[in-house]
Amino acid sequence: MMGKGGPQQRPQQRPLQRPRLRKGGSPPGLRNAILDAVTHSDGLVSVAVILLGFMVATVLILLVGRRPGGMYSAILQVLTGLDLRRFTWNARYIGEWLVMSMPLILCGLSMGFAARTGLFNIGAEGQYIAGITAAQLVGFWGPRIPGLHWLLALAAAMAAGAVWGGVVGWFKARFSVSEVVATIMMNYIALYGSRLITLTIPGASTYRIPDFSKTALLRSPLLESLTNGSRLNYGIWFTLGAIFFYWIVMGKTRLGYSLRATGLNKDAAKYGGISVNSSITASMAISGAFAGLAGAIVALGSFSYGRVLGAQDGYGFDGIAVALVGNSTAWGTALAGLLFGMLKSAQPLMQSRQIPKEIASIIMGLVVVFISLRSGVRIILDWQLKEKARKNEAAGEVFSGGGKDLSGDGPAEEG
């Protein structure tokens, strides 16, 4: 730049240098990239929180002065039937594990199916009770024809669960009633309504009704013989069928597309020609059918007599946790149901090894808590990325000067 005093040299700017890494450090964005990849992969998160839950349980067992090996040997016995203490094998443990897992999987599917439509079906317990009640009534009074009898009972249970869930869906769609509040209330109506109805059956006492006919039971001699006399029954095939139904309908049909679109954005779905009200009602009805089927499998598969329910079994509430861990997908929910069923089945075995059986409940609770923290971690990571981008943008403006001369105090003044 020329001034009156002659040519004035502009001081040269220093070239920008990349920030140096500390000794033994990692690239600045590597940690964030790993955390971002993990938290945005639902499958990896589920595996990580399960492992973390077992790690915490191991520490707790050590703190109470017990050996963690007892917990893991009990779990191994449930999964394989192998007793490492006596070096014996009994397939009954495998069968009972599957029996415990079936209602958990079905109630998880009930919660997950509604969740994919943007609904929180906390009423799977009430729909499960409706299924139990319908199955017991048909089991007691239905036609005693082998095969047909229990098929009618299963159909009645699914229909009862669908009605119990569909009513909530209709109120949600028609009057914008909160499905959370409505389903909680419906749970208690189902419980005490079931007691009133079941007590009308001849021969009923305060806790049970007479034995069912053999034609009403889901007993399978083949499955019982394969699992050394366990209660494993035909319900396993209906559970597998429900998983496939969920997977096909939600992922490969027009109905599933409508339900998922409604769950993602109701306004966009309505603009695209989807009947949002019909989707909400259908979703809750199908969710109720899953839970009703779970009730029938427990009523006719695990018991030879009818029960007068005095309290909730809790499968519907456990299904919420199963769906969360399984990310509301068909196969993820199935695996989560098997996990929770394994932990519940291992409780008596843990107790026989001087391990508090409450450890299994602690693991399930920790898994749910850690899963719930996933959204918080995502929010923190997104905030950090935005802050970093803002600082980089500000630093870029400082170095570039937005096209201005930052080499001195401005243009040279004429002398």
40 within domain boundaries: no
- The answer to whether residues 288 and 164 touch, using CB atoms and an 8 Å cutoff, is yes
Both tokens of 201, joined, read 């059956």
Neighbours of 185 (CB within 10 A): 13
135 within domain boundaries: yes
119 within domain boundaries: yes
| pLDDT digits 0-9 by tens, 375-392 | 677 777 677 778 888 888
Instruction: Give the per-residue pLDDT at 136.
Output: 97
Instruction: Give the per-residue pLDDT at 18.
Output: 47
pLDDT band at residue 243, thresholds of 50, 70 and 90? very high
142 within domain boundaries: yes
Q: Distance between CA atoms of 305 and 302, rounded to whole angstroms? A: 9
CA distances from residue 204 to 156, 198, 213, 217, 325 in whole angstroms, order as listed: 21, 7, 15, 19, 39
- The answer to whether residues 291 and 280 touch, using CB atoms and an 8 Å cutoff, is no
- The answer to whether residues 122 and 286 touch, using CB atoms and an 8 Å cutoff, is no
138 within domain boundaries: yes
Q: Distance between CA atoms of 326 and 159, rounded to whole angstroms? A: 26
Residue percentage of the chain with pLDDT more than 90: 74
29 within domain boundaries: no
pLDDT band at residue 130, thresholds of 50, 70 and 90? very high
Domain count, the chain: 1
User: How would you label 283-299 residue by residue, b for 16+ Cβ within 10 Å and e otherwise?
Assistant: bbbbbbbbbbbbbbbbb
Both tokens of 18, joined, read 């990349």
In the predicted structure, residue 28 carries a pLDDT above the cut 70: no
Q: Which residues pair with 305 in a beta bridge?
A: 211
User: How would you label 395-404 residue by residue, b for 16+ Cβ within 10 Å and e otherwise?
Assistant: eeeeeeeeee
Closest CA to 90 of 101, 98, 79: 79
Largest CA distance in the chain: 117
Tell me the whole-structure pTM to 2 decimals. 0.85
In the predicted structure, residue 19 carries a pLDDT above the cut 50: no
63 within domain boundaries: no
Instruction: Give the per-residue pLDDT at 31.
Output: 64
Q: What is the mean pLDDT of residues 345-366?
A: 92
Q: Distance between CA atoms of 135 and 160, rounded to whole angstroms? A: 9
**Where is pLDDT greater, at 32 or 110?**
110
- The answer to whether residues 168 and 114 touch, using CB atoms and an 8 Å cutoff, is no
Helix axes 235-252, 276-297, angle to 10 degrees: 170
Domain containing 181: what range?
101-328
370 within domain boundaries: no
Instruction: Give the per-residue pLDDT at 29.
Output: 60
Residue percentage of the chain with pLDDT more than 70: 85
